[in-house]
Structure 1
Amino acid sequence: MSQDFPFDHFLNTQNTKNPTDIFSSNNSLQDIKPEVNLPKAKAETSIFSEAELKTIGDTLLDTLKDQLTPEKYNAYFTDVFQLSNITMDSIVFNVTNPLIKIMVETHCLNEVKSAISGLLGKEYEVIVNVAEPNTKAETLEDNSKQQARASFTLDLSPTRDDKLSKVESQYIQHMSDPGMNIDSTKTFDNFIVGPSNNLANAAAIAISKTPGDKGKYPSLYMHSNSGLGKTHLLYAVANGIKENFPQYIVYLTTARDFMKEYIESVKTKTVDAFQEKFTKKIDVLMIDDIHELKNKTGTQDEFFHVFNELYRNGKQLIFTSDKSPDEIDGIEERIKTRLQWGLVVDIQKPDLETRIAILKRKAFELDLYLQDDILTLIAHSIKTNIRELEGSLVKLSAYADVMNVEVDTEMVKDILGLSAEDVERKVTLDIIAKATSLHFKIPVPDLKSKARTKDIVNARFVAMYLSRKIVNATQDEIGKFYGGRDHSSVVHAERTIREKLLTDVSLSRDLITIENCL
């Protein structure tokens, strides 16, 4: 619904010396035209040809792709960010919607400026305009002229596109990498523990209670693919130590920021202050994405000395990476060795049960009611990334809120873009038996036989455990399927696997691998 702009509400004529100077008897609201402030760069002539602009733009995007995480680059730059013009003092980019403009200016402006400076050899004023990706400067000017001629009215009713933009905004905010300020909301209490991360969680809790050389793990190295909970555990450890040891100085940073800080100290000739800060003033050093130090020889040398000094003084060291220490190329052997001095633990993809638990917790946080079949559908469709798993609920919650609708199965399929292949297939006892057989390389007839060799018994117990967990078959049904065994055999198998999962990381991986194949 459209209505005239309420000028009288905003103008105080009592404080105006001569109100008639503003509205004369011969003027109407339609004669008053809003000022349109075009970016000054658009009024200047480009110093590059279109072909040169395209080459520069492509190179800038390649540079940003190397500097940013895949999630951030894909959200803010892939097919939505385009170089438009370069003048003597400014560089202009077009983005596809106001949301992208806000996110780039808020979260990525420093990286953009750094890439420009590195490529063009000088600093420019960066201007971000909202336009279609292929819109030329002339089109923007024409649009601005049309807007200036338009009557000054406001449309106060958001369109469907406006609402969807709000949904996407909340989703992008969730998927963006968290900053390195310690998030007090990320604790052990709201970290969902499963077979894929139980060892990492246990080690992190132990450190929070007894950090440094007085505890079991003065150095901890966690590695996994992106989005599996490493950063949440970092925050949880930091919050736990701050609660239990408020006098401790906890410093959480990224490898890239550590490098930037060191380079800045070299430029400003304050290396001594840098070294004193990291070796004398910090009780707990936590560095995220330590693999980013690869091929950075000078920074690696400084990190080597920082590590040695803190370790020698009994301080706590915690590192995360997407690879194990011995898999990182471009890292000196002496540093790889030190990274392996303490506990090295990997975090696997969560199993189905853990994914459903994560979704239930996130739904509770969002005050979003979802039926169990919807949670199961999402958990079956998104298997590899916890951040994406939670992000799906952020998107559904935002959509349900702005559209004022109830969440149902068809909406979930539509909003999350789930294809027919994503929908859960019916898992049976036979399917589980075949998946277990394939993983352990033990024929299905052997699983059903009376054989009691160690390998066969272990595989049989795993198959029985998964049959209870996933198919929810009765113990009698499972016992009958596996060679006519009594239900007590199935109870024993379940108890044995549960007990082993508390300490056996290898068994946890086996279960996750089999589940992901179902």
Structure 2
Amino acid sequence: MLPDPSSIDQNIGAIRQLLQESLGNRRYQNWFGGTTKLELEGSELTIHVQGPYLVKWIQQQFGDELQRILLQVLGPAAEVRFEVGQEVRLSEIPEASAAEAQPVEALSRTTAQPHVAKKRKRGGRPRPLSDFVTGPSNELAVAAIHQLVHEPDSVAMLYLHSNVGNGKSHLLEATRLQLRKEDPQLKILSLTAEQFTNYFTQALSAKTLPSFRQKFRSADVLLIDDVDFLDGKKGIQDEFLHTLKQFESENRQVVVTSNRHPRLLGRTSEELVSRFVSGLVFRLEKPETETRQEIVRRHAIRQGAKFSEPVVEYIASRFLNNGRDLEGAVNILATWARMEKKTVTVSLAKRLLNRLERDCMKMIRIADIETAICTLFGIEEETLKSKTRKQSVSQPRMLAMYLSRTLTDAPYSEIGEYFGGRNHSTVMSAQKKVSEQLKLQETIRVASETWELKDLIDTLKDRIQAG
């Protein structure tokens, strides 16, 4: 379906009117009058100007006001870009700004080729679902995406969580591309939770909440990255909750990503958490060996590099945490190969990646473990170190001691001293008890949720190592 020309003209007219009201007639005519053309395609406004000088000036002087007006007229998906006309020349400077602007001689010449101020693509080329390497660590999440795209009535809420670098944002962008491919008419809003917060705050300040809500809640699919950004932000959570309720009542789809399981969002309302867990919740694990090797192969192809299998296996064996570390290693080797026009060998890979490998190793402190434990269980650091033997405190304390022995080189005596001046035998006992609980596959209560102890410890390790 082609856009309605009358709707486009109406929106452009509204943008011009609001600009004129905001800037005053004289400033509006100087900068957005007859020499500046506005074009609208979907939610993207293109501003055609005569020269690069005008681009810079308009961005500096009116950028914030333009964004506010576009948000009001077009909603949170609005974007603005600039294009410079065929003849690149210095525009006549209005009197009001002559004292502030310095003429640039180089811009007064006519150039053979038009200069276009292109909109930068954040995050590089969008990567489709077919480009995502699937393995045992993430196959359930990928299957859920396919189900959401091809059987929309069966999936209303999808929540993907993992440690950083394991493909959450890639999957979210791939979901958008796949949905668009299947149905180009779908209205899809894709943004981060921080952007959602910023749009809401702007709308609140500008008193345009009805417009904000209409634009957000009229979408067919809502894709939100890093939803844990809302943790602790009560007002924004309330707004987001009402948005989810609207989507739920009309059987529309929401996909969110997070670094944590919804039950581990300690400062998020129970009602919002319950909305998350009512849908499909999947964790993307660290990629296993075969998946890591395939990530290396595919990224090498994207970089135009050709690595032997021993080199691929070496990279995959050394960088275990996530896909981003693997891609960083490939980037270094591919750059070297292009510059030197030589083949990368295993011995060369070892030498070139030695520093990167050291940088990827995080030095963990006992204090990092303490912070993760206290955040997860919702207790104060002083309480964790206190003499109390209540199970709600003693269990987290034992876990903290166990992880301190597992993830650091600290001796028993140092760990005991850190956690309230306890002796080394207490730490040894805690380590032994948690190890036995793991062997018996016991469970543990965190707030109102029951967890397998192994899953809980894995989650804690991920959060501690991610910082």
- Structure scoring higher RCO (CA < 8 A, sep ≥ 6) equals 1
TM-score by length of 1: 0.45
Larger radius of gyration: 1
TM-score by length of 2: 0.50
